Amino acid sequence: MLRSVLGKSLWDQRRLLVAWATGVAAVTAIYASFYPSARQSAAQSVRNLPPAFRQAFNVTQMSSPAGYLEATVFTFIVPLLVLLFVAVVGARAIAGDEEAGTLDLLLAHPVSRAQVIGQRFGALVVSTAAVGAAVLIALLVVAGPGELDIPAANLAAMSLHLVLLGVCFGALALAIGAATGRRALVYGGTAAAGPLAYFGNTLAPQLEAVPWLQRLSPFAYYGGGHPLRQGLQLGDAGLLVAAALVLVGLGAVAFTRRDVAV
Amino acid sequence: MAMEAIRTERLSKRYGGRRGLDGLDLEVRTGEVFGYLGPNGAGKTTTIRLLLDLIRPTAGSARVLGVDPRAGGVSLRGRIGYLPGDFVVDGRQTGRELLTFLGNLRGGVPRRRIESLAASLDLDLDVRIGRLSRGNRQKVGLVQAFMHSPELLVLDEPSSGLDPLVQQRFLSLVREARAAGQTVFMSSHVLSEVQQSADRVGIIRDGRLVAVEAVERLRERAPRRVEIVFDAPVPSSAFADLPNVRAAEVEGTVLRCLLVGPADPLVKAAARFTTLGLTAGEPDLEELFLTYYDREEGGHAA
């Protein structure tokens, strides 16, 4: 673990990672295990909700296993937790070290700034994948007793899309931190981008003037293709990966050009 | 190999409107120990961070081991050892963890080398860094700077926080490095920290180099506070206008003054009376800065 910046970053955030993976998996398991009882009442209560609300929080198909999981686990709470996680990890990656004053020492070693940001991004990808894997494991464990009749491949596809959504926002957090060196801006930036992208995706269909808005939102490529029902959406996944790489690339360019703060 | 380990030409750095460094021309010869002296805020850390490409100059240029710091990049930094002025690292790791990692970034440093350096500084490698005292943390910083025996050591206030005994061990590390042909560039705001090890000293003030001197000459020139006690009151006129003596004040049987050069005229003047005691303080660097500073200002006025 102490051989590279990537390994060291993972090692340094091991406690954070274990705590988040456990927490997100627990939330997933709890929601998923409520399916049998929720199925009974869902049909009734959904009808009572205003249509706009149903659309915004994706609660239209609560009575099928995939619809239920989408509405409870994958529409809001788990993506939110994953976004918070990648914001924390992305903020630490460059801006956190810089504000703590520990970045000078690393950059005075024979590593380029592009290598540092690249390897920190690699650590972020691995961490996010670990959180995604914890979600998948939780689903596989609960699926039987919870009467969630969804193919494992689709659960895996949904988890992968979740990881890629996280990687995309993590790349944004990392890039803001690399460009500015300030954690407050990382948190501010991701806190603005997250809800904007979320509601851009869910509410855009109702705003007929701006149908293209939805296509700008990473959430459209995360859940828009319904991986729980349709399996892996290669095109969507590719776009999320591409967006992440572009963001990290921009961050690396800005980072390489600027002064490192004391 | 370049003759100079470090060479800067009109190197300048502005932070917004604030001036950090203003046209620095500096030459550090290969193989020497160079003390970079100045009060806090004079531009020492700015210079060092420019040399390591952590910040970029607003104007002018620098060459470190013959190459531009930015162009030299990874391969240049592999030849340098750096101790930041404020050595902070994640406190949750042990010294051994950190040093192993940093050694690996440098292509691997033998475990025994790290252990022998730590032993020579009396540093426990298996304690979490967050639990170490400031002085012991500084030792971790020294080990990482020296462990790969770099061609050039750039040390920002290396002995801050070290107790006198460890300071002596640090100085012997510097002497070993010099004997091995390594160049050492170290900053300080206290002359006594560098005078034992440095060959030459550069004095920086307000972002400009005001003097470069061999350490011997500097010590001769640095003012010392001298106090002489006589057996009877002495006339103050006897010590007025003596060469190398400034601010002479007589209070009954005691003379206090500043000595700014060879002591001979003062000693001869005092010898006309019966002296009971004589104390001379250490060369006062703050006074020395002022003498260089005054001269600069005077030069501009003339």
Q: What is the pLDDT of residues B75-93, one digit of tens each?
A: 999 999 999 999 999 999 9
- Give the up-direction half-sphere exposure of residue A223: CA atoms within 13 A in the CB hemisphere: 21
A196 or B45: which leads in pLDDT: B45
pLDDT band at B302 (very low <50, low <70, confident <90, very high): very low
Query: By a Cβ cutoff of 8 Å, what residues of chain A touch chain B?
Result: 2-5, 8, 12, 100-102, 104-112, 259-260, 262
**Partner-chain contact A5 B74, CB within 8 Å:** no
Size of interface A-B (CB pairs under 8 A): 63
Could you tell me the pLDDT band of residue B286, with boundaries at 50, 70 and 90?
low
Please tell me which residue of chain A has the smallest CA distance to B94: A12
Which residue in A3, A12, A102 is closest to B104 by CB distance? A3
d(CA B260, CA B258): 6
CB neighbours of B124 closer than 8 A, spacing ≥ 6? B95, B118, B136
Q: Are A165 and A86 in contact (CB under 8 A)?
A: no
For residue B2, what pLDDT band results from cuts at 50, 70 and 90? low
- Band the pLDDT of A60: cuts 50, 70, 90: low
Sign of the Cα pseudo-torsion (B97, B85, A120, A222, in order)? positive
Q: How many Å apart are CA A211 and CA B58, to the nearest integer? A: 47
- Write down the pLDDT at residue B191: 78
Nearest by CB: B54 against A3, A111, A260: A260
Interface test with A, best of B76, B104, B151, B153 (most A CBs within 10 A): B104
The predicted model gives A26-49 an average pLDDT of: 79
Burial class of B219 by CB neighbour count within 10 A (0 to 12, 13 to 18, 19+)? middle
Look up the ipTM and state it: 0.87
User: In angstroms, how far is the first alpha carbon of chain A from the final one?
Assistant: 27
pLDDT at residue A248, as a whole number = 97
Q: Confidence class of residue A262 from pLDDT cuts 50, 70 and 90?
A: confident
pLDDT at A56: 66
Contacts of B46 (CB under 8 A, 6+ apart): B13, B20, B21, B55, B207
Question: Rounded to an integer, what distance in angstroms lies between the CA atom of residue B10 and that of residue B18?
Answer: 17
Tell me the chain A residues in contact with residue B88 when contact means C-beta distances shorter than 8 Å: 100-102
Chain B, nearest residue to A15 by Cα: B92
Integer-rounded Cα Rg, in Å, for chain A is: 19
Residue B274 has pLDDT above 90, yes or no: yes
User: How many residues are there in chain A?
Assistant: 262
Q: Give residue A111's Cα distance to chain centre.
A: 29
More confident call, B56 vs B159 = B56
A122: exposed, middle or buried (Cβ count in 10 Å: 0-12, 13-18, 19+) = middle
Q: What is the pLDDT of residue A209?
A: 65
Both tokens of residue B151? 């061609």
Chain A nearest-CA residue for B100: A2
Q: Tell me whether residues B89 and A12 touch, CB distance under 8 A.
A: no
Please report which confidence band the pLDDT of residue B59 belongs to, taking 50, 70 and 90 as the band edges: very high
DSSP assignment letter at B275: E
Interchain pair A105, B86: CB under 8 A = no
Least confident residue range of A143-152, A175-184, B165-174? A143-152
Cβ–Cβ below 8 Å for A110 and B49:
no
Residue B213: φ, ψ to 5°: -140, 155
pLDDT, residue B82, reads 98
Q: Contact, A146 vs A35, CB < 8 A?
A: yes
Mean of all residue pLDDT scores within chain B: 90
A244 neighbors A171 (Cβ within 8 angstroms): yes
Phi, psi angle pair for B198, to nearest 5°: -80, 145
Comparing CB atoms, the residue among B49, B73, B90 nearest residue A12 is: B90
Q: Give every CB contact of residue B211 below 8 A, 6+ residues apart in sequence.
A: B202, B203, B292
Region class of A4: left (phi > 0), else alpha (psi between -120 and 50), else beta: beta
Confidence band of A61 (pLDDT split at 50, 70, 90): low
Selection from A41-50, A54-63, B71-80, B216-225 with the highest mean pLDDT: B71-80
| CA angle in degrees (0–180, nearest 5) for A97-A103-A109 | 145
Task: Return d(Cα B24, Cα B63) in angstroms, integer.
Answer: 12
How far from each other are the two terminal CA atoms of chain B, in whole angstroms? 42
Q: What confidence score (pLDDT) does residue B87 get?
A: 94
Kindly determine whether residue B89 and residue A109, on different chains, have CB atoms separated by under 8 Å: no
Contact (Cβ atoms closer than 8 angstroms) between residue B93 and residue A12: yes
What confidence category does residue A62 fall into, taking pLDDT thresholds of 50, 70 and 90? low
Q: Which residue matches tokens 């490409």?
A: B53
| Whether the predicted pLDDT of B299 surpasses 50 | no
Compute the CA torsion angle B292, B295, B296, B301 (nearest 10 deg).
160
Alpha-carbon gap: A262 to the closest alpha carbon of chain B (Å): 9
Burial of B218 (0-12, 13-18, 19+ CB in 10 A): buried
Q: What is the pTM of this model?
A: 0.86
Predicted pLDDT at B32: 96
* Average pLDDT value for chain A: 90
Q: Please check the confidence at residue B244 and state whether its pLDDT lies above 70.
A: yes
Q: How far is CA B287 from the centre of its chain?
A: 16
- Could you tell me what percent of chain A has a pLDDT over 70? 92
Helices (H), chain A: 5-12, 14-33, 35-48, 51-56, 65-69, 78-91, 97-100, 103-107, 113-143, 152-180, 183-203, 212-215, 218-223, 227-230, 234-257
Asked if the Cβ–Cβ distance from A262 to B52 is below 8 Å, we say no
pLDDT digits (tens, 9 = 90+) for B130-167: 999 999 999 999 999 999 999 999 999 998 888 888 99
pLDDT tens-place string over residues A67-123: 888 888 998 899 999 999 999 999 999 999 999 999 999 999 999 999 999 999 999
